[in-house]
């Protein structure tokens, strides 16, 4: 995940440099062209983030293995639905994952220590994991 954050920051820096160069080089009557180029670069930034997230989801679906975990924290998001933080152990190391619970009635019934099913890619258990479901 750190790689994707670094990639996004590099892309943002390149966009800022491109904007500065276009501001200096282009005359005032070419401002519309500059705005369109900057918009295109900004949109490509979000497309890169979307495709990377999609690639991770597909890799988890294709190569992921299932393991049991437990709920260690319950959180209410300020602008998101409530979610739980889960923990699982793989080869002696603990990793964390999250699961969003859109229905608040179900969220209230969840207790700390409840079991969950987690799917992860064994090469990257920290970055490529997803809590699949609760075990009732």
Per-residue pLDDT of the chain (136 residues; tens, 9 = 90+): 566 666 666 767 777 776 666 666 666 666 677 777 778 877 888 888 888 888 888 888 888 888 888 889 888 877 888 888 889 998 888 888 888 888 888 888 888 888 888 888 888 888 788 888 777 6
CB 61: neighbour CB atoms within 10 A? Answer: 10
CATH number 2.40.50 given to 64-134: yes
Single out the residue of 99, 54, 93, 53 nearest to residue 73, CA to CA: 99
How far is Cα 24 from Cα 16, in angstroms, rounded to an integer? 13
Domain coordinates in residue numbering, the chain: 2-62, 64-134
Q: DSSP label at 26?
A: S
Tell me the whole-structure pTM to 2 decimals: 0.62
């Amino acid at each position: 995940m750190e790689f994707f954050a670094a990639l996004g920051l590099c892309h943002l820096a390149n966009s800022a440099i491109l904007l500065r160069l276009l501001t200096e080089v282009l005359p005032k009557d070419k401002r519309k062209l500059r705005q369109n180029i900057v918009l295109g670069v900004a949109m490509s930034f979000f497309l890169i983030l979307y495709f990377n997230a999609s690639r991770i989801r597909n890799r988890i679906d294709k190569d992921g293995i299932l393991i049991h975990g437990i709920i260690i924290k319950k959180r209410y998001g300020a602008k998101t639905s409530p979610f739980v933080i889960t923990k699982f152990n793989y080869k002696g190391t603990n990793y964390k994952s999250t699961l969003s619970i859109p229905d608040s009635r179900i969220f209230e019934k969840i207790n700390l220590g409840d079991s969950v099913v987690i799917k992860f890619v064994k090469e990257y258990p920290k970055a490529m994991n997803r809590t699949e479901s609760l075990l009732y």
